[in-house]
Structure 1
Amino acid sequence: MKRLVLFLSLLFLLQSCKSSYSRTELLKENKALKERIKKLETADTVNKEAALELKKMNVVFRGVSNPIYISKPNAVSFEATAFGLRKLDSLGNYILSPGTGKTVDITIKSKLKNGDSLIETKTLRIKDISAPIGTINGIGCGSKCELKLKKEDLTNSVINAEMKNFLHDLGMKVISFKVKMPHFKTLEINGNKMNVRANDLFTLLQPNDSVIIFDIKIRLSGSSRYRLKGVAPIVIKIIE
């Protein structure tokens, strides 16, 4: 009887040790699992893609200094390179002046917090700038249409140039232009406003006469790197 009790006691003790050992191992595995999950979460956060923001537009234009903002979340440092890309400051502001081709690749090399290095490539589309159009007193539609104006509307009128659907402010200023009217020689005018000679000739215009304001020369503020097409002329038909 004593032997039976001793055997059962030993069996119970062994079973208890086995259960205690299993719980210990389970706790260790659980701790290791939590550490792996935390490491994966950290790696996922660290390896977020570099963010690239084009200011005011979703493409870059050829012949324009396009402002771009680049950032790399959770990176210790990063470097962005591309043809025509120039760094402005340490805050992520760049200027991109693209060259030939339809796209430009920006390569972003970053050093992550976990010590890894990462190389990413962002591809942007390149568009050519459309030709500016001439305007008279703020009205213009390019050479493919005809403005209908009274001859009085031309007196002391102001000539400017603008670009439709273009968000960059190029600071365009008209410095000279030419005026062609029936029966008179072409007038060459400096500045952006009709002169006395032009005003006198306007009084002689008749209904259905055509007036063309062309060879509009402009000057851009801030940079000489812009490559713009010639300004589209202003075609006018006199009414009344």
Structure 2
Amino acid sequence: MASGKLSPRQKMINLMYLVFIAMLAMQMSKEVLSAFGYMNEKFSANNITADARNNATLENLATKASEQPEKYQSLYATATKVNEMSENFSNYLDSKIAFFLKDQEDPKAYESMDKTDLVDQHFFNGDAYTKEGQEFLDQINGYRNGIIELLGENNPLAGTIANRFDTSDQKVEGGKQAWLKNRYEGFPLISTITNMTSMKTDIKTTETEIYSLLLGGQLESDVSMTKYEAIVIPEKTAFFQGEAFKGKIVLGKVDPTLKPKSVKVNGSQLPESSIQAGQVLLNFPAGAVGERDIVGEFIFTEKGVDIPIPIKSSYAVIPKPNSAVISADKMNVVYRGVANPMTISIPGVPDNLVSATGTGLSKASGTGKYIMTPGSGSEVKISVTGKLPDGSSVSNYQTFRIKDIPSPNGTIRKQSGYVKMPSSSLENSTVGAELPDFDFDLSLNTTGFTIKVPGQGAVVVRGDRMDSAAQKAIAKSKRGDVIVIFDIKSTLSGNSSYRIKDASAVSIEIQ
């Protein structure tokens, strides 16, 4: 405002300007608060997607670790530790967000989250930090330092992670300011909530980058010739005395264009004619009864250097079969309520001279093929008898565990977990049940479920679609309401007598 003596009219004009500027500031403040809220929603949605993606990657790595422990076990151990540290830090941030929002009647009323005192009193005590403020800093620093220590300071991601979770003093006009004060003191509540949700996004991003680096490093390692492994594949697992051993040696990665410089087995260099389409065919006397070794090496040339790949395996030479081979085609257990395919055979004995018995076991079409349909109990015993060429018999048995079909996942429009849709779509949706990770292809028929709309009583529905009572309850829901469908009951198609466990619940957010 100009100084000096002003007329009453000029004073009134100046006062109106002040009021107008204040009104603009208030309006801008509301818009900024709302913008923070919408940004927080987007971060939260992205975090859900990132969580699903990271969990899928971790599950895939767990499968690889169980199938190829020497190659993936150490990677999976590192990924598991990263996931554990990330989950702990993310859960801590969730607890802080919940604390700051506990007195908010509407968590989406962003324009009302303009106060600064709640965060200031929680984190700061004058120029010092409260216990909670110091704990917040320690959590960030602990996560950052723990991840870098796990990966190693020379890891290409170490610098990125250090910058992403940097809590060092910040440059301000006239000097420096502590990071916590610079980012959280005097800011409206919604900005603190958004900052913490954004930090959760950084956690998910860190997980994704680490998993990608771990798998990418393994892939790069796999394509190097130094990582190939020689595999001896006999024509059969055991040989009679006097037979010739027949089999082949292949590399872990079979490539028809791949040809070694030379191959040596048991002290002899094999002729070039034995090397065909990335495989080495073997044909030599099996030897005397007992354990026999196969040793040698492949020689490849890579960048002008000869690289040896050792060959080491063994096989057994036996005078006659002494046991039966019984295996479940699908898994190491048999499941109640379904037909479990099995292969039963005795090496060296024709299928027509092999007989197998067991409760629920029946012969199927195909050599050595059987179907096991277990009944009650926790185990089933399968006995096998075979008639040898000399007229004698060999017998053996195997005990299998019996398990029930696992609980299915509840679905709405074939989506499980947390789903978003308009209420009008939900009214006409079909409720289902599925077994996504089950080895058998089973069809489940939904026979009933219970739906709970916020503020209304639960509605029990028969069948797989909404009845009039359920549709009436859904029609009263509001945007943002989370409707839960639970107690989802189903039957097994083709075997309605078998009792399927209730499917997991489905949550639907009304849009």
Range class of TM-score, shorter chain? 0.5 to 0.7
1:211 aligned to 464, 473, 483, which one? 483
Task: Determine the structure 2 residue equivalent to 1:149.
Answer: 420
Q: Quick check: 2:491–2:500 contact (8 Å CA) kept in 1?
A: no
Structure 2, unaligned stretches of length 5 or more?
A: 1-239, 244-287, 290-316
> Is residue 67 of structure 1 aligned with residue 338 of structure 2?
no
Contact persistence 1:52–1:70 (CA under 8 A)? yes
Give, in angstroms, the shift of residue 134 of structure 1. 1.0
Are residue 118 (structure 1) and residue 394 (structure 2) matched? yes
What residue number does 2:144 align with? none
Equivalent residues of 2:323, 2:395 under 8 A apart: no
Deviation at 1:223, TM superposition (A): 2.3
> What are the Cα deviations for residues 156-209 of structure 1, in whole angstroms up to 9, with x where unaligned?
212110124211122211133232223444434343233465445434212453
Conserved 8 A contact 2:490-2:502? no
State the partner residue of 1:230.
502
Give the paired residue count: 197
Aligned-partner residue type, residue 336 of structure 2: R
| Change in CA separation of 1:150 and 1:53 when aligned onto 2, cut-off 3 Å | same
Tell me, yes or no, if the aligned pair for 2:489 and 2:500 is still in contact at 8 Å: no
Find the structure with the greater CA-based Rg: 1
Supply the AA of the counterpart residue of 1:71: S
Question: Residue 50 of structure 1: which of 324, 328, 334 is its match?
Answer: 324
Mapped partners of 1:84, 1:137: distance in 2? 37
Identity, in percent, stands at 35
TM-score (norm 1): 0.66
Task: Tell me whether 1:135 sits opposite 2:407 in the alignment.
Answer: no
Describe the shift of the 1:69–1:177 C-alpha distance in structure 2 as closer, same or farther (beyond 3 A).
Answer: same
Residue of structure 2 equivalent to 1:93: 369
- Identify the residue that residue 81 of structure 1 maps to in structure 2: 357
Question: How many Å separate the matches in 1 of 2:497 and 2:369?
Answer: 19
Of Structure 1 and Structure 2, which has the larger fraction of its residues in strand?
Answer: 1
How big is the shift at 1:225? 5.3
List per-residue Cα deviations over 1:66-97 (Å, max 9, x = no partner).
12122234325121122332333574332223
1:157-172 matches, within 5 Å, as 157-172=429-444
CA distance in 2, matches of 1:118, 1:75: 10
Note the C-alpha offset of 1:45. Answer: 7.1
Q: Distance in 2 between matches of 1:121 and 1:232?
A: 38
- Structure-2 change in CA distance of 1:65 and 1:226 (3 Å): farther
Instruction: Give, in whole Å, the separation in 2 of the partners of 1:115 and 1:44.
Output: 18
Q: Aligned partners of 2:497 and 2:357: how far apart in 1? A: 20
Q: Is the 8 A contact 1:46 1:114 kept in 2?
A: no
Q: What's the Cα RMSD here?
A: 3.2
Q: Aligned equivalents of 1:162 and 1:70: distance in 2?
A: 31
Matched letter for residue 189 of structure 1: V
Q: Could you tell me how far 1:233 is from its partner in structure 2?
A: 2.7
C-alpha distance in 2 between matches for 1:195 and 1:235? 18
Q: Is the 8 A contact 1:131 1:229 kept in 2?
A: yes
Cα distance in 1 between the residues matched to 2:510 and 2:241:
79
TM-score by length of structure 2 reads: 0.34
Higher relative contact order (CA 8 A, sep 6+): 1
Q: Distance in 2 between matches of 1:45 and 1:207?
A: 77
Change (3 A) 1:182 1:72: same
Amino acid aligned to 2:422:
K
